[in-house]
Amino acid sequence: MELLSINQSTVTSLFWAGNAEQKVNMFKATEMLVEKYQFKGWPTPQELQSDKQAFQHGTFNKASIRSLEIYNDGVIVRAQCNTSILEAFLNDLEQWMEAKVGWKRIETHRLNRAYGSEVLVRCDDQVLKFLSVYSAAASEISRSLKSHTGRDAITYVPAGIMFAADESHIAGIKPSPFRLERKFGSDFEQSIFYSAAPIPTDDHLALIKSLEKQAIHL
């Protein structure tokens, strides 16, 4: 497996910022936050009074932070980098928040962190080999298309897999499905796959490698 790009990584952290010893007001804190992480976009004075404050296009340890969203019960940070960098960013943000602003992290949720990882990878073309049992169903799609639309025969093949949890039995943050599918619009011979997972980037890539290895040895 070859990592081609990280499309987007997301880390959600739930907590309440307690006012242990407020050192600056909200407007000054916003100014300091923008300066520290070099954000190019920040909330207006009116938006600072709302339930969501969004900051865009910042920098942390030479990595670009696409967005930081601050809510009453936590934060969401997004970027095109490994989730480990986003975790380091959140740790740095919390330490700065307590030291410079006087707001301390107070835990409010037992399950207080969630991840999103979206990547493009090049896999061995056999990674979906075990889906060949559905080849008859794929052929039926082609036959139906020809019958009802007059199109020449088009070869359909299984193009992806998805694992999902039953959200009706999950409390709190709902983890998104895991998906591995051929990149839409790409030449199948290039073996480029899009994948999304509710786990950290490194674990996500390790899972794809594991699927690839298992498929090759079928």
pLDDT in tens, 50-101: 999 999 999 999 999 999 999 988 999 999 999 999 999 999 999 999 888 8
- What is the pLDDT, as a whole number, of residue 172? 80
- What is the pLDDT, as a whole number, of residue 20? 61
Interacting residues of 50 by C-beta distance below 8 A, sequence separation 6+: 43
pLDDT in tens, 178-194: 999 999 999 999 999 99
| CA neighbor of 66 nearest in space, from 74, 50, 54 | 54
Interacting residues of 118 by C-beta distance below 8 A, sequence separation 6+: 6, 7, 8, 9, 194, 195, 196
pTM of the model: 0.91
Domain ranges of the chain: 10-109, 117-216
Indicate the residue type of 15: F
